[in-house]
Amino acid sequence: MLTNLAARDVETLIHPYTHLDKFRETGPIVFERGEGVHVFDTAGRPYLEGMAGLWCTSLGYSNRELAEAAREQMEKLPFQHIFSGRSHDPAIALAEKLKEIAPVPISKVTFCSSGSEANDTQVKLAWYMSNALGKPRKKKIIARTKGYHGVTVASASLTGLPANHALFDLPIQNVLHTSCPHHYRFAEAGETEEAFSARLAAELEEMILREDPDTVCAFIAEPVMGAGGALVPPAGYFEAIGAVCAKYDVRVIADEVICGFGRLGTMFGSQRLGMAPHTISVAKAITSAYMPLGAVMLDEPMYQAMLEGSREVGTFGHGFTYSGHPTACAVALKTLEIYERERIVEGVAAKEPHFLHRLAALEEHPLVGEARGLGLIAGIELVADKATKRQYEVKAGVAAKAIAFCQEEGLILRNLMGDRIAICPPLIITQAEIDELFDKLGRALDRTLDWIASQGM
């Protein structure tokens, strides 16, 4: 029997990434407050938020400084757009700060409200640049199978997940997908990570040549893949891929929406994994998710192309009402201040060994085929047979059941396609809380194993 609040939810809200028909029976779990790395439901029960919301609440919940930064800005200048040459200090200061901390030389910053909008903007800017430079055929963008880049029309097309395409008439024209760099699942028998990386780079080169290099403008990738499985790339991957892109004048777009601002123990994931992007998408942890904000950081060649296009058209015809929203920018500036002052990024690097030690121990569990991570992000894959890597049938819903047991244990994680479970706690998590997370996950996996036996699977 659904509570009154849950029943109201069912009759009013559409929930993303939810089986809408089954949801009418189960209803939602309703949260009302958060503190640190924990959130509390309407019954007051605490849950360790092991996914930092949606990979985003890096500073945890109820950070007073971020709330105060928002309050102060709302009282001073709650909104001001930046169309037609108007501006304000928070947007200027934030753009300056992003240029300062960027992993590669950045010329300008354009703001939006989400990672989806940032990657949608990346597509438009890549096409705009090709047109402005007199290369109207150079329009194809290569993404990767299992990559995740958002849900707007263009960004969902870049996303390499079937559920984001089915019934939506996606992907759109000029978007291609190359192989997923998941060594555990897709490497050949005996193939080293370096050899796997070289093979994937060769496949990318073959695709570019097949399509014609004069038609391919960009390659987009997450440093560590998020919604596609929390997948860490194999050794040497981005160096090999980057060499191919440079050879054929293919610009590299880093989707740092999840990895940016400390997740991998460096300010940007690109720095940890040898990625040399031309443009960068950021969102999520830029405000610790306290305000919706995204940005595209672009290089000087792209800016020069934008200047040329503006001369031709008479304006630069892109932007959003909330581009550079002053309150969001003020919260972002305070977030970045906290990262520096509290040495949050260095803290992730210090906590990584213990996090990865507890993660590696999960590979001893009968259900776990792979447990791999970097910094404070990880993915584990549940399998029916560890020796052959055989998976359970999709309809069995094994990972979904494990996540339900996690919830009963007071832990929030997320199941992804292919019976994978993602772990991505707030960056402020302590060693004791890391132990709490893995202790609860271990008990949930034991309960899942018992459930599998009871089902005769």
Domain harbouring 90, CATH code: 3.40.640.10
pLDDT > 90 in the chain, percent: 93
Torsions phi, psi of 84, nearest 5?
50, 35
Check whether residue 286 and residue 141 sit in a common domain: yes
Domain endpoint, select from 341, 367, 395: 341
| β strands within 190-326, DSSP E | 216-221, 251-255, 279-282, 294-298
pLDDT digits (tens, 9 = 90+) for 279-292: 999 999 999 999 99
Q: Where does the pLDDT of residue 455 fall: very low under 50, low under 70, confident under 90, or very high at 90 and above?
A: confident
pLDDT score recorded for residue 4? 85
Check whether residue 308 and residue 405 sit in a common domain: no
Residue 442 burial by CB count (10 A; 0-12/13-18/19+): exposed, middle or buried?
middle
Check whether residue 48 and residue 192 sit in a common domain: no
| Helix or strand run (H / E) with residue 379 | strand 377-382
Whole-angstrom Cα distance, residue 422 to residue 435? 16
Whole-angstrom Cα distance, residue 356 to residue 353? 5
pLDDT score recorded for residue 23? 87
Strand partners, 110: 296
Whole-angstrom Cα distance, residue 109 to residue 121? 12
Report in angstroms the alpha-carbon separations of 127 from 131, 252, 342, 354, 407: 6, 14, 40, 44, 44
Check whether residue 173 and residue 90 sit in a common domain: yes
Strand partners, 143: 177
Tokens coding 302 = 């792209």
The answer, yes or no, to whether residue 428 has pLDDT greater than 90, is: yes
Whole-angstrom Cα distance, residue 252 to residue 269? 14
Check whether residue 158 and residue 242 sit in a common domain: yes
pLDDT digits (tens, 9 = 90+) for 39-53: 999 999 999 999 999
The answer, yes or no, to whether residue 3 has pLDDT greater than 80, is: no
Q: Are 4 and 26 in contact (CB under 8 A)?
A: no
Judging by DSSP bridges, how do beta strands 108-112 and 175-178 pair with one another?
A: unpaired
| β strands within 215-282, DSSP E | 216-221, 251-255, 279-282
Domain endpoint, select from 322, 341, 360: 341
| Helix or strand run (H / E) with residue 22 | helix 20-26
Q: With CA atoms as reference, report the closest residue to 366 among 453, 286, 297, 296.
A: 453
pLDDT digits (tens, 9 = 90+) for 197-256: 999 999 999 999 999 999 999 999 999 999 999 999 999 999 999 999 999 999 999 999
Check whether residue 21 and residue 72 sit in a common domain: no
The answer, yes or no, to whether residue 98 has pLDDT greater than 90, is: yes
Check whether residue 288 and residue 365 sit in a common domain: no
Q: With CA atoms as reference, report the closest residue to 256 among 111, 148, 133.
A: 148
Q: What is the mean pLDDT of residues 146-151?
A: 98
Check whether residue 336 and residue 347 sit in a common domain: no
| Domain limits for position 415 | 4-62+343-454
Q: Are 109 and 295 in contact (CB under 8 A)?
A: yes
From 19-33, 320-334, 378-392, the region with the lowest mean pLDDT: 19-33
Check whether residue 55 and residue 104 sit in a common domain: no
Check whether residue 319 and residue 349 sit in a common domain: no
Check whether residue 275 and residue 303 sit in a common domain: yes
pLDDT score recorded for residue 1? 62
**CATH number for 363:** 3.90.1150.10
Whole-angstrom Cα distance, residue 330 to residue 335? 9
Four-residue CA torsion sign, 317, 318, 320, 323: negative
Q: How many domains does the chain have?
A: 2
Domain endpoint, select from 341, 357, 390: 341
pLDDT digits (tens, 9 = 90+) for 323-348: 999 999 999 999 999 999 999 999 99
SS3 content of the chain, % helix, strand, coil (to 5): 45, 15, 40
Q: Under 8 Å CB-to-CB from 131, ≥6 apart: which residues?
A: 309
Considering the chain, what is the average pLDDT of its residues?
96
Q: Under 8 Å CB-to-CB from 183, ≥6 apart: which residues?
A: 191, 193, 196, 234
Q: Where does the pLDDT of residue 17 fall: very low under 50, low under 70, confident under 90, or very high at 90 and above?
A: confident
Check whether residue 219 and residue 255 sit in a common domain: yes
pLDDT score recorded for residue 114? 98
**pTM for the predicted model, two decimal places:** 0.95
